[in-house]
Structure formats: structure tokens, C-alpha cells
Amino acid sequence: MLPCNQTRPFTTKGLKEDAMKKRMAVLGLTVALAVSVLLTGCQVVKVVKIGEEGKYTGETEFNAGDDVAAIWESSALPELNETAVDLKDFLTESKGELTKLADKYGKYSMGVSGELSYVVKGSGTVEEVNNESQAGCLALKLDGYTGAESIKLQIGPVYKGSSIRDTLSFIKFGDYKNQEEWAAVSQSINQVVAKDVVEPAKPESLQGKTISFVGAFTVSAGSTDVLITPAVLEAK
């Protein structure tokens, strides 16, 4: 240790070592940045919070419930009401061959293939209310029709098929990313049917009453049964 009145002789060795260390640090940082740019395809890496990806990618998280809620009153119901064919006339014309009128009234789930569905309307008397099954239904005696077909309206809580989704012209499989999203749309439609169509009609009270309806049904292979998912259900 030097006395307080003495100083250490000045040398350039320490300065050279410090400068060397700084140059090495800068070089290391430059290499790291270069590697980062190469690995990211010459793009700047940005950390994005979960849930905010859509701000940068233009894509938002799929929500079938929001999609259906946005189009039900404004688009779905008007189209269903406009395209519905009178069920009595349809059954009379088809003469028991429900696929016979596919080109005239039908719509396929995949555009030109898949399940065949029709939009129909009519009125009749409720002969039976089956709400003991999860897939509950109303058995209907159709006004002015005496054919052998079994006509039923779904009242849930479980709804079979995707007939309403498949008959709407503005809902197309190709617009969705995968089968899961496509199925979710149908599930959301059925939820709207349960909440906004069936529940307000109080199906348990409809035994023996005359009802009017608009809805859709899918043709089952080898069957003449007509199982309608209602979009409109009203007691007269």
C-alpha cells in the first residue's frame, strides 16, 4: 500500500485492457443481434400479450356464440322465413320421396354434397309432447295433410342434426378453419333455438293446441320421418 502522499506511476496497460474488453462486448452484442435477425427472418421480434394477437395478425379468436348472435335476428330469421316452403305442399309433391325435390327446394351441407336439408313452414295440432327424453319433441298432425310421414318438432334440450345451419346460404364450411369451428356454429344455433324459440313457446303446455312453425329438417337415409328444428314456434 502506498503512503497518502505518493501516487502509483501512470501506465497505459490498464486502459488497453479496458478498451479490449469493451470491443469484445460490442462484438458479442453485434453477433447476438445478427443471429437473432437471421433466426427471425430479418424481422423485428415483438412480444405480444396473450389475447391481443388479433391486433397484429388481423385474426381474432373464433367465438361461435358471438357469430350466431350477430346474425340470428338480422339475417338468419329473414332468410328462413323467405325460403320456407309449405310443408303440406312439399310432402304432397314429394309423394314420400323426400330427396326427390332436392334441386327445387333442398340445400346440401357441403354445397353440392353432404346432408340434404329443407326449410319448411306450416301449422298443425300437437298430438303429443315428449319431454321425458333428452331429445324431446312435439308430435304434430299437420293441417290439411293425411300422409303417412311422421312429423315432429324438436324441443330439446338435446337437438339432433345441423339442419338450420346447413340451409343458411351465408354460412359455408369453407369460411371456417376446421371441423370444430363448423360444429360449434351449429351448437350455437341450437342454443339460440332453445333459448329464444322453444322456451318462450312453453312446449309443455302445447298438448292439443294448434301451432305454427318455420324450421328446417334433414333427410334421413331410407326414412320418411320429418324431424324439424324450429326457428319460429308459436301457439295460435
Residue 220 pLDDT: 84
Alpha carbon dihedral 26, 30, 35, 38, in 10-degree steps, equals 170
Residue 151 pLDDT: 97
Residue 199 pLDDT: 97
Domains of the chain: 64-235 (2.40.50.420)
Q: Are the beta carbons of 116 and 108 closer than 8 angstroms?
A: yes
Q: Find residue 139's DSSP bridge partners.
A: 128, 152
Measure Cα distances from 8 to 1, 11, 17, 18, 124 in Å. 10, 9, 18, 18, 111
pLDDT tens digits for range 2-48: 444 444 443 444 444 554 555 555 455 554 544 554 555 555 544 44
CA distance 35 to 23: 18
Q: What is the pTM of this model?
A: 0.74
Low-confidence ranges of the chain (pLDDT < 50): 1-16, 19, 26, 31, 33-34, 37, 45-54
